[in-house]
Amino acid sequence: MSRQKYLIGNWKMNNTIAKTEQFLLNFEKQLNTSKTTVVIAPSFVSLSSASKVLKSDRVKLGAQNIAWEDSGAFTGEISGEMLKECKVTFCIVGHSERRQYFGESDETVNKRIKACLRQGINPVLCVGETLYERQHNMTNQTIKRQLQGAFDSIASQQAEKCIVAYEPVWAIGTGMSANEAQAGQVAGQIRDCLSVLYPSLYGQEIGQKICILYGGSANTKNASLFLNCADIDGLLVGGASLFVDDFLQLAHICESV
């Protein structure tokens, strides 16, 4: 994959099957994009009907998590093969809510990324510091640790298929987004970790190809500020992705920046 624009909606635990269908019908009809890959990640139970409602390839489906095993006795888990059957092509991995409430660790994030890659699903890896870490100048080390853990023993041809979302934990769902200087600086640091820092994870060629998104209270008012940062290729959006008009407007902002 090479660098391109992304707009990814993370619906979290919102919207029923019926509401998902309604949204997608309405949204797809009005969406007019050519440069931006638009992805919506509804709940697991909505994926199957969502895949049937969508008429074109303009809206792609994402999952919010994936089991690290391919099948077997893992009560409550959803495998990559099951997701593929629902036409899922992207999967959010390591979201801070999963790290915070469901015991997700750098090691399990790494296993889930590998499960995505085995199925040809593009992982959307979330990294980001807590407010405590930012206030104690620990942002760099947190991001570096999360990246090193997530990409452990993942070959470069596979790493290219990953997207990294910088989501400062303190900005998620709080209405207090990072400013463009903060987002741009950490996105740059992520690219440096991938490509030029010694020891870099992948070197320049691959590191320059991996798409980096910003997430955390992104909305129609601040979107273009983030999209104008050199290392930011798109947005991962929670709250504002739940409204057809806002998400359409965000897609059109992505197209025009």
Task: Name the token pair of 144.
Answer: 């570096």
Task: Name the token pair of 174.
Answer: 């709080």
Please identify, using beta-carbon distances, which residue of 80 and 239 lies nearer to ligand PGA: 239
- Count Cβ atoms below 10 Å from residue 154 Cβ, excluding itself: 18
Question: C-beta of 95: minimal distance to ligand PGA in Å?
Answer: 6
The answer to the question of residue 218 lying near ligand PGA (CB under 6 A) is: yes
**Per rule CB under 6 A, count of chain residues that contact ligand PGA:** 12
Report which residue's Cβ sits closest to ligand PGA.
238
Please identify, using beta-carbon distances, which residue of 6 and 202 lies nearer to ligand PGA: 6
Please state, in angstroms and rounded to a whole number, the distance separating the CA atoms of residues 190 and 79: 29
Please identify, using beta-carbon distances, which residue of 200 and 219 lies nearer to ligand PGA: 219
Q: Give phi and psi for 163, each to the nearest 5.
A: -115, 140
Q: Is 167 a catalytic residue?
A: yes
Q: Is 95 a catalytic residue?
A: yes
The secondary structure of residue 179, as a DSSP letter, is P
Please identify, using beta-carbon distances, which residue of 172 and 211 lies nearer to ligand PGA: 172
Return the residue of 42, 184, 207, 239 that touches ligand PGA, per CB under 6 A: 239
Question: C-beta of 71: minimal distance to ligand PGA in Å?
Answer: 28
Task: Name the token pair of 61.
Answer: 């489906």
Return the residue of 21, 129, 133, 167 that touches ligand PGA, per CB under 6 A: 167
Task: Name the token pair of 29.
Answer: 């009809």
Please state, in angstroms and rounded to a whole number, the distance separating the CA atoms of residues 189 and 166: 10
Distances (CA, A) of 227 to 62, 90, 182, 191, 241: 21, 21, 13, 15, 17
* From 95, 104, 129, 252, active-site residue: 95
Give the catalytic positions in this structure.
95, 167
